[in-house]
Amino acid sequence: VQWVYNFGAGAADGRAEMKNLLGGKGANLAEMASIGLPVPPGFTLTTEVCTRFYEDKCTYPTELKGQVAKALARVEERSGQKFGDATNPLLLSVRSGARASMPGMMDTVLNLGLNDWTVAALAKRSGDRRFAYDSYRRFVQMYSDVVLGIELSHFEKLLERAKQRRGVKQDHELVAEDLEKLVMDYKARVHVEIGMDFPEDPHEQLWGAVGAVFNSWMNQRAKTYRQLHDIPESWGTAVNVQAMVFGNMGSDCATGVAFTRNPSNGANDFYAAGKVVFSADEAVRRAKDGEKVLLVRIETSPDDIHGLHAAEGVLTTRGGMTSHAAVVARGMGRPCVAGAGAVQVDYAAARLSVGSVTVQEGQILTIDGVTGEVILGEVPTVPPQLSGAFGIIMAWADEYRTLQVRANAETPNDARQAKEFGAQGIGLVRTEHMFFDGGRIIAMRRMILAADEADRKVALEELLTMQREDITELFRIMDGRPVTVRLLDPPLHEFIPHTEAEMAQVAKAAGVPLNRVRRRAAELQEANPMLGHRGCRLAITYPEICEMQARAIFEAAAAVGKAGGAVPVAEVMVPLVATLQELSILKEVVEKTAAAVQKEQGMNFTYRVGTMIELPRACLQAGKLAEQAEFFSFGTNDLTQTTYGLSRDDAGAFLPEYKAKGIVEQDPFVSLDQEGVGELIKVAVERGRTARDGMKMGICGEHGGDPASIEFCNKVGLDYVSCSPFRVPVARLAAAQAAL
Ligand code: PEP
Ligand code: MG
């Protein structure tokens, strides 16, 4: 049986396809060697040796020793060096390499073959004693840890002592003599710990390292990793023994990772790294200085919007896929990890901790908004591009799909981005997002804090101007494509701060007495705001808000038309409707406003009034709602929340356990719960279309960007999906896959 496979010098026994036998690393080293890449020579002990090792009580097949000796001779020949030689010694690296990559889970030994003789030769040949003894002390430390099982802390203490003796702080400030002495200290410690000398015989070192790598297949880390990634224990690991090359032998040497292909898959490059900051203001300050920052908050509020904008990404410890921070961040194309419950944030000390790891303000973290990973340090990133092959695939997708794809967007930047990614319209303008920015939130607060209706009208005038300008710009950018503008949705208290200091600030900025801010905050306080005074309920109690918004929309349509642009079909959407009466009352306000604006402007335009379907009652009453509603848009974030009775902001804390226990397969806020929420949607589609033939229907909850949910939308006959701009390409592809 061939247990050992050689590679190097333009030839190899193995090939890339032999992953099962040679492991991923071994198979690819063989392939690279045989296509002529300058791979340092070496050999691979197969995964079958590992399997046999465990079957035969940690012993090796009898032929193995001979095969390794032969392979080693080949490496000596190919490298022109000799293992254990006192003038030109060959040094080896010994690494694990399973069929599937298990990064960092198993053991590795480098610089193997160093002893008191070979180190002298290495010093002489390299002309660098410091380098030679540094390599030696690293080897003794690594081997003692990995093979001899000696605690690393012993060596760390000795290293510290050496630095103290020399009066320096950094390892690299130690000179050759210090390191030589350190090796002696290390070896003395080894003797104390195991009652034997450190092995000087390179062959003994080699077999020790090979055994350690095979043994590490069964260490706890590797076992856990296999469980998490469904890697069978029976696969075993290969061991790769390879001639050492040095990345630290002068300025013409380096180590690192290089890609011969773009590692990006074209769409999922959502890594986006930065220095940790804990306040929106700090994010803005540092971003202005050109720093890349990552905003970390326990949770976010409208007050943080400038920070979200300035940051490369957002990490929150509360909330989930559909909570505020995630939705806003996604809209801006910022990756967001929301609800990372294991992260403890200490604002006062400006640091966060996860278990024993502490990260101070200014340290770098990387987050992946797709997988929810939070990574210490910086990961290189690639901006997504829609050109080339990716563009071709998108064009193919557009040929086959029948579902339209729109975007959820509220700023000109979002809208432009959405159009660039191929959005066919805007399915949801969350108008409240337009008031999050800087000075604007003040106008909103003035409106909320108004003493009476007259006061409120003045504040509304100010909001009307802003809203009209924003919507005009959106209509202009979308150039005739449909734009659905939703009336104000969130509970008003979201715009009012709650700490004394913040309230004082707001009172000053809004020019109202502090007492009034306190009183309004208390009045607006709700036990259950998500089920409280929000959505259309706001417009029912403050019809002047609805009127202002409708006016802004229609005046914007008129302005675009008068400027010679394509007059859009303005779609006015009412959120959180439960009853026909709610919709009828608000539709009347909108219609009256439309008539007034058409008269004032002396021009006609087409518009539609429709409703969000985001409550179970609305689904069941869809037939009736369709009498008034000219379109439906399923708000599956709220529909999931209300159908499941599961808070969109709090579920992140326990849903992972639900997933782990198999109670739910997927977070229902990420991928539509087809059996429950989906049934309600089916009912609503059927009843709505029976009442109003051919009625236009879409989805604008976060599920509109999730491929499995998109497939469902296609199946139940929706006309479009609407998702955040950066998910549009994925949605186009998923819609095509659903159609095929
Ligand atoms: C929804 O509920 O699905 C929706 C789109 O509205 P929002 O997320 O703004 O509540
Ligand atoms: Mg909603």
Ordered domains of the chain (ranges, CATH): 1-115+201-256 (3.30.1490.20), 127-200 (1.20.80.30), 274-376 (3.50.30.10), 410-431+474-490+537-739 (3.20.20.60)
Atom of ligand 1 nearest to the CA of 428: 5
Looking at residue 166, its pLDDT comes to 92
The answer to whether the annotation marks 430 as part of a ligand binding site is yes
Query: Is the entire prediction scored with pTM above 0.90?
Result: no
Note the pLDDT of residue 310. 84
**Nearest residue CA, atom 9 of ligand 1?**
430
Counting from 1 in the atom list of ligand 1, the atom nearest the Cα of 700 is 5
Q: Give the mutation target among 323, 573, 614 for probing the ligand 1 site: most ligand atoms within 8 A of CB.
A: 614
Which residue's CA is minimally distant from atom 6 of ligand 1? 635
> Please, which residues have CB less than 5 A from ligand 2, an ion?
614, 635, 638
Instruction: Please identify, by atom number, the ligand 1 atom nearest to the C-alpha of residue 641.
Output: 2
Give the pLDDT score at 534. 94
H or E stretch at 405: strand 404-408
Site to probe by mutation for ligand 1, drawn from 327, 436, 484, 700 as the one with most ligand atoms within 8 Å of Cβ, is 700
The residue to which tokens 């026909």 are assigned: 580
Q: What residues line ligand 1, using a CB cutoff of 6 Å? A: 327, 428, 430, 489, 614, 635-638, 700-701
**Distance from the alpha carbon of residue 188 to the mean position of ligand 1, in angstroms:** 67
Relative to the CA of 327, which ligand 1 atom is closest? 8
Cα–Cα distances (Å) from 676 to 562, 576, 680, 710, 714, in that order, read 47, 19, 7, 16, 17
The residues, ordered by sequence, that sit 6+ positions from 730 with a Cβ below 8 Å of its Cβ are 267, 705, 707
**Residue 262, pLDDT score:** 39
Structure tokens at 138: 């690293």
Partners of 92 in beta bridges: 112, 243
Tell me the residue ranges of DSSP E strands in 437-482.
Answer: none
- Which residue's alpha carbon is nearest to atom 1 within ligand 1? 635
Q: Which atom of ligand 1 is nearest to the CA of 322?
A: 8
Distances from the Cα of 236 to the Cαs of 109, 227, 646, in angstroms? 18, 14, 43
The ligand minimizing its distance to the Cα of 634 is 1
Q: Is 614 annotated as a binding residue?
A: yes
Identify the nearest ligand to the CA of 701 by its number. Answer: 1
Which pLDDT does position 533 carry in this prediction? Answer: 92
Output the six-digit token pair for 657: 């356990």
Q: Which residue matches tokens 């957002």? A: 314
Distance 675 CA to ligand 1 centre (A): 20
Q: Is 637 annotated as a binding residue?
A: yes
**Which of 331, 290, 338, 291 lies closest to 314 in space, CA to CA?**
338
Given the CA of residue 638, which atom of ligand 1 is nearest to it?
A: 2
| pLDDT tens digits, one per residue of 564-577 | 888 888 999 999 99
Instruction: Name the residue of 489, 669, 673 to mutate for ligand 1: max ligand atoms within 8 A of Cβ.
Output: 489
Query: In sequence order, what are the residues at sequence separation of 6 or more whose Cβ sits closer than 8 angstroms to the Cβ of residue 34?
Result: 7, 10, 11, 12, 15
Residue 615 Cα to ligand 1 middle (Å): 11
Residue 265: what pLDDT? 40
Q: Tokens at residue 637, please? A: 């974030």
Q: How far is the CA of 400 from the centre of ligand 1 (A)?
A: 29
Q: Which residue has the tokens 């990716």?
A: 390
Tell me, what's the pLDDT at 264? Answer: 37
Q: How far is the CA of 284 from the centre of ligand 1 (A)?
A: 28
Ligand 2 center from residue 265 Cα (angstroms): 32
Is 638 annotated in a binding site? The answer is: yes
Alpha carbon nearest to ligand 1 atom 10, residue: 638
The reported pLDDT for the residue numbered 269 is 43
pLDDT tens column, 374-398: 888 877 766 566 667 888 999 999 9
pLDDT at residue number 303: 65
**Which positions are catalytic?**
324, 700
Q: How far is the CA of 635 from the centre of ligand 2 (A)?
A: 5
* The ligand 1 atom nearest the CA atom of 702: 3
486 annotated to a ligand binding site: yes
Ligand nearest to the CA of 327: 1
Which ligand is nearest the CA of 324, by number? 1
Which residue's alpha carbon is nearest to atom 4 within ligand 1?
A: 635
Which value does ipTM take for this structure? Answer: 0.98
Contacts 24+ apart (CB under 8 A), 263-269: 263/382, 264/382, 264/384, 266/384, 266/385, 266/389, 266/390, 266/393, 267/384, 267/390, 267/729, 267/730, 268/370, 269/381, 269/382, 269/383, 269/384
Using the mean position of ligand 2's atoms as its centre, give its distance from the Cα of residue 297 in Å: 23
- Assess contact for 231 and 102: CB atoms under 8 A: yes
User: In the chain, which residues have pLDDT < 50?
Assistant: 257, 259, 261-271
Ligand 1 midpoint to CA 573 (Å): 12
**DSSP secondary structure string for all residues of 246-266:** -SSSSTT-------SS----S
